[in-house]
A and B are shown apart, each in its own frame.
Chain A
Amino acid sequence: MFSNILIYFVVIPLVMLGGLALCQNIRQIRAVAVTGSLALIGLSAWVLAEYLELRGAGNEDPMLFVDSWTWFAPLNIHLAVGVDGISVAMLILSSIIVFAGSFASWEIKQAKEFFLWLILLSTGVFGFFISIDLFTMFMFYEVALIPMYLLIGVWGSGNKNYSAMKLTLMLMGGSAFLMLGLIGIYYHSAPEGGQLTWNILEIANNDAIDHSWQTFLFPMTFVGFGVLGAMFPFHTWSPDGHASAPTAVSMLHAGVLMKLGGYGCFRVAIYLMPQAAHELSWIFLILTGISVVYGAFCACVKTDLKYINAYSSVSHCGLVLFAILMLNETAMTGAIMQMLSHGLMTALFFALIGMIYGRTHTREITQMGGMMQIMPYLSVCYVIAGMASLGLPGLSGFVSEMTIFVGSFQHADMFHRVFTIAACCSIVITAVYILRVVGKLLFGPVYDEHHLSLTDATWWERLSTVTLIVSVAAIGCFPNFFNHLINFTFKPAIFAVLGLN
């Protein structure tokens, strides 16, 4: 079992949990958190290298490092692992954000409990990305969701009980749909008789699920994951949840957890049920198209930094689902790039907002101004994050958005192309709300004289932000690397839905 490299993505966090349980003081806790997250980064880098090597050697399997251990035989549940380029990208993203998040919560109160929950959450996240068994995938998904309730409810700010409750309940509601869908998939995974299976690869290989069932199960799973991906009518947990969550939780949540939604939509809903995806995509395309523009418009009038960013996440994550639903290679590559890009960028945003909030104790942009004079380092980082968000070339936002737009526009259908143009409009609206915040918050005269005594970033804050900025710039400057990494997954041979278009 331990010969498979992937299993360590779950083992390391579990070891960290054990270590944290033994810790006595804050220094030990920090040491464990930093060592563990460094180990995770190292591990994901190693997986990346191995993955590229295997692919370079001509390995054309849809998934690599595949392994499976029986867990509960009567229902044929396995702990099955395996990765493709997308999972590798997601693993890298998660490990970077966990790393940056640990530094961003350097001085959190009740650190031991906080980190315990945080690491449990990341266990769920990593487990989700390596799983290819629907049941274990779902289990890890829930493991990632539940700690959120406590993290927000205990360490949050503002109206935290309400937000924590709302977030958890809405996501649980999504999970209910999802579970229905997954069980449905399981019971239709072997239409010609034989062993039922949860394994994604086997289901996809058999091309198993009956068409009429697909049209029922596809919306179930898509909505189930879509709730976490902040799809239009189900996005309202996001602003409240993000606004109340502590810094590192916001980072992980917007940066990684919301990606679970997009990843799941494509890995389960579309990968396993291509015909239904092809037929029903237009419904969800309209919904996600709405969330792209609508989220951006809503962000324009909000005055709370976290609300602005949460709505911006709605818009950007909407773009992810939008592109996935376009069902062509370029757009879907773009969707994954957008997941990476948005994850890093929004984590950076939330980290900075947390740092600013920790100093000024307000998140209202009307209560602040002229931060550039007071904390130049954080302000510059904020401008960079803003520029990444509005799609400045050289940073990650540009490449992902352009890949999505170009890809979506290659769709043969006029409806899809016109819709793409509508989605393109979001880049202008994004510019409006980003510049509005930057102008009000960072530039101009100092609003509150008490702020003049505030200090600039500390070293751990610098480390956290620099990590994220470097990652954002790396994607922005060398997009082709990530493009190739992701692209392999979307071969018509592997991805049935591409053949349909």
Chain B
Amino acid sequence: MESTLPILILAIPLTMFLLLGIAGCKMSHKLAGFLGIAGMGTTLVLSYITALTYFFGPEFIGADGLREQVTVFNWEWLAFTENLVISLGFFLDPISAMMLIVITTISFMVHLYSLGYMEGERGFQRYYAFLSLFSFSMLGLVVATNIFQMYIFWELVGASSYLLIGFYYRLHSAVSASKKAFIVTRFADLGFLIGILVLSYYTQTFDFVKMTSDPSWVLASTGGATFMGASVLTWALVLIFTGGMGKSAMMPLHIWLPDAMEGPTPVSALIHAATMVVAGVFLVARMFPVYMMEGSATMIIVVVGAVTAFYAAMVACAQIDIKRILAFSTISQIAFMMVSLGVASEGHGEVAHHGLGYMASMFHLFTHAMFKALLFLGAGALIHAVHSNNYTAMGGLRKYMPITHWTFLIGCLAIAGIPPFSGFFSKDEILAACYAWSPFIGVWMSMVAALTAFYMFRMYYLVFWWNEPHYHHTPHDAPLSMNIPLLFLAAVSCVAGFIPFGHFVTWNRMPYDIHIELPVAISSVVVALVAIALARHMYIKENPLPAKMKAALPRLWDWCHHRFYWDELYMFITHRIIFNGICRPLAWFDRHIIDGTMDSFATVTNKASEAIRPLQSGQVQMYVWYYLIGALLLAGVTAVCVL
């Protein structure tokens, strides 16, 4: 494939970032917005061309009937050793092509939406610059040809996420949220980095193709080395997964994502719902053949995913801030994808159920990106209208904001898994894969799906029905630039489920047809409907039932509402233990012990000279005394020696 288009896909957002970042303060808002949108639009078109050519072009079907993996270009960027070379390249395979579509679509929609949402904000140009930076980084991440390139862009998305969360830098909450996000993900990245180091030490390569095309070679290259009881490959993979856990907000590294909602809502839609947070899933998917080799690593993925999914769903039921509800729903849904990836492997190099889980995970990633972005943008429209994040300030909005209402409803239906919306199809595949792997996980995930339907419709009814508070200004639908993305994404959410995903994205690039497993599908739809009905019963109009329930289970409500006190636990660890328990004593140690020792050398010298200084008293008679005593001593010594 020619490399012009791929280069442009990366270069345009980068140029836009530099242009808007350096010259932005001299531009008008309109020009900056226009430039940003134009840049992203071009990228969108180029990405679509690239991805569609890849998916439909016959030139990418190899001799064995499989879709080829293509390294479009691969430039050496930094050569550590002969083998360990960081290259910057463009790698095209089904998942990266799919991610190109997802990222550019959502990003473009967000660019467009922000034109209305961010209108008149201070730092509008900066906002668009950061969006471009993020798009660049995210695109670079998904097309990475080697794990170190991914790490580079991984860090860059982290930084742009930091900048965007802290966009309202005058607010303390935004600043601390951005700091938290960066540090938590940085901590996870440390794991990622160590994982890379361990893996590359044994395999002597960073290259994805080399690793994934022959995973058994990777296993062999470690030579069965173990560290503290586990094989080094397990260590490496788990550590790399830690990086994914950080970015994808898996427990226990999830705490940054709810706080990240301090950023502007479109940013939440782009970064913290659709693209960046699925980087962890993407990472595992990218390394999937290697993960397949180590059953214990995939086991950990499944367990972490399952626990996170349930936890986040529970917490989402007890939140007040609608963006937080969506954030926890995102965590839960990403956990779905993780579980699905985990259950795609049997361990010891075998895929389970023809790798259904892998395909389902990617499918869910795709559909989730669309409907979750839709929900976030809808939430943005709501917040734009009522100037509050809390559902307590909303209610009965269906009358005032019909477009928002309908599109939001579509999003809710999609996430709840009601046919024919896209979420149904992808979630159904995931559940099918789970049941096939272990019935326990299947039931567990179905339960989470039911909870999902419940909390989404709880929010839906509380926002659009319930009873109407007193509005200072009559809320109304958002302007056109904000509505177009809503409508577009709603349309995609309606139809995306019918894409024959199995034809495009599978673990070994072997196309196959998706079957809907009827028992699973029917049971999950029924469960979802029951959950929706319950939500409708409780929240359609003001009634004492929710309060009663809260009173009936106060402990549970408290724990869910306070997110099971994870933040407090982290606060305790970071402030009490690390800051007060390590940093302060160390600083004290440095100033008083180490520096004290150095100073004491000076003090001792000083004291010593002070002590002998009076000998030089200026009293000449004292000198005579010293002389006399010295002479006598000398005489004595001589006498003793001679005699």
Contacts and interface: CB of A to CB of B under 8 A. Distances in A.
Interface stretch (A16-24, A262-270, A440-448): A440-448
B579 A301 contact: yes
Q: Which of B77, B148, B178, B597 has the most CB of A within 10 A?
A: B77
A445 B170 contact: yes
B512 interface: no
A387 B159 contact: yes
Interface string B132-170: 000000000000000010001101100100100010011
B638 interface: no
A390 B197 CA distance: 19
Interface stretch (B180-188, B314-322, B472-480): B180-188
Contacts of B159: 387, 392
Contacts of A298: 583, 586-587, 590
B193 interface: yes
Given A301-B584, A301-B587, A403 B81 contact: no
A399 B179 contact: no
Contact of A427 (B76, B175, B193): B193
Contacts of A300: 579, 583, 587
Q: Which of A237, A398, A399, A432 has the most CB of B within 10 A?
A: A432
Nearest to B162: A435
For chain A, the bracket of interface size reads 35 or more
B581 to A, nearest CB: 11
Nearest to B172: A444
Contacts of A237: 598
B243 to A, nearest CB: 12
B275 interface: no
A398 B586 contact: no
B586 A294 contact: yes
Contacts of A407: 80-81
Q: Which of A234, A394, A406, A442 has the most CB of B within 10 A?
A: A406
A183 B594 CA distance: 29
Contact of B602 (A169, A330, A436): A169
B492 interface: no
A169 B148 CA distance: 45
Given A298-B583, A302-B587, A443-B175, A403 B78 contact: yes
Interface in B218-268: none
Nearest to A421: B194
Interface in B82-125: 84, 86
Interface string A160-200: 00000110011000000000000000000000000000000
Nearest to B137: A393
B155 A393 contact: yes
Contacts of A394: 156
A409 B197 contact: yes
Q: Which of B80, B148, B153, B583 has the most CB of A within 10 A?
A: B80
A301 B580 CA distance: 9
Contact of B81 (A330, A428, A480): A330
A439 interface: yes
Given A301-B587, A427-B186, A480 B598 contact: no
Interface in B583-636: 583-584, 586-587, 590, 594-595, 597-599, 602
B598 A297 contact: no
Contacts of B152: 393, 398
B158 to A, nearest CB: 9
A200 B509 CA distance: 60
Nearest to A406: B80
B583 A435 contact: no
B201 interface: yes
A480 B170 contact: no
Nearest to A439: B175
Nearest to B154: A393
A337 to B, nearest CB: 10
Contacts of A354: none
A481 B197 CA distance: 23
B583 A439 contact: no
A431 to B, nearest CB: 4
Contact of A294 (B579, B590, B595): B590
Nearest to B75: A480
A170 B598 contact: yes
A424 interface: yes
A443 B170 contact: yes
B169 A444 contact: yes
Nearest to B227: A414
Interface residues of B, number: 51
B contact face: mostly helix, strand, loop, or mixed: helix
A428 B187 contact: yes
Nearest to A387: B159
A370 B170 contact: yes
A329 B81 contact: yes
A234 B186 CA distance: 30
B199 to A, nearest CB: 10
A162 B598 CA distance: 13
Contacts of B582: 297
A166 B598 contact: yes
Interface in A377-424: 387, 390-394, 398-399, 402-403, 405-407, 409-410, 417, 420-421, 424
A444 B178 CA distance: 12
Nearest to A479: B78
Nearest to B86: A402
Given A297-B583, A406-B197, A393 B156 contact: yes
Interface in A279-305: 294, 297-298, 300-302
A463 to B, nearest CB: 16
Contacts of B169: 372, 442-444
A443 B190 CA distance: 26
A437 to B, nearest CB: 11
A373 B175 CA distance: 14
B79 interface: yes
A431 B584 contact: no
Given A330-B80, A406-B197, A483-B79, A431 B186 contact: yes
B18 to A, nearest CB: 11
A425 interface: yes
A233 interface: yes
Q: Which of B79, B172, B582 has the most CB of A within 10 A?
A: B79
A236 interface: yes
Interface in A327-341: 329-330
A237 B76 CA distance: 41
B163 to A, nearest CB: 8
B179 A435 contact: yes
Q: Which of A166, A237, A399, A435 has the most CB of B within 10 A?
A: A435
Contact of A392 (B156, B583, B594): B156
A421 B584 CA distance: 23
A178 B224 CA distance: 47
Interface string A80-116: 0000000000000000000000000000000000000
A392 B183 CA distance: 13
Nearest to A372: B169
Nearest to A331: B80
B308 interface: no
B76 A480 contact: yes
Interface string B39-80: 000000000000000000000000000000000000011111
B390 interface: no
A480 B77 contact: yes
Contact of A439 (B84, B179, B590): B179
Interface in A225-249: 233-237
Contacts of B81: 329-330, 407, 410
26 contacts: A166-B602, A237-B598, A297-B582, A297-B587, A298-B583, A298-B590, A300-B583, A301-B584, A301-B587, A330-B84, A373-B170, A387-B159, A402-B148, A406-B80, A406-B197, A409-B201, A410-B81, A421-B194, A424-B193, A431-B183, A435-B162, A439-B176, A444-B170, A445-B170, A480-B77, A483-B79
Given A406-B197, A439-B179, 4 more contacts: A373-B170, A405-B197, A406-B84, A427-B190
- In the complex, the 3 A-B pairs of residues with the closest C-beta atoms, listed nearest first: A443-B169, A393-B152, A236-B595
